[in-house]
Amino acid sequence: MGKNHKELNNKLEEFRKRASLTQSELAEKVGVSRKSINSIENGVYIPTTVLSLKLSKGLNRSVDDLFQLT
């Protein structure tokens, strides 16, 4: 996977910050590493369906709130 994913916009960082969570806190909440959260926020990694669902549940948002196709 390339660093920039032109087909996917993600607002994970925005909603994480709105929830007053650090990357580490969100990572612990959903059962991944802080590095995974960082990689998703920076467009390096596209999360799996399961991880996307965990993130949306952990932030009390829909998957569509967090991720959109361009």
Domain coordinates in residue numbering, the chain = 8-69
What is the C-alpha separation between 6 and 32, in angstroms, rounded? 24
pLDDT recorded at residue 38: 97
Q: What is the CATH architecture of 8-69?
A: Orthogonal Bundle (1.10)
Query: For residue 56, what pLDDT band results from cuts at 50, 70 and 90?
Result: very high
Query: For residue 3, what pLDDT band results from cuts at 50, 70 and 90?
Result: very low
User: Would the pLDDT of 1 be above 80?
Assistant: no
User: Would the pLDDT of 15 be above 50?
Assistant: yes
Burial category of 12 from C-beta neighbours within 10 Å (exposed 0-12, middle 13-18, buried 19 and up):
buried
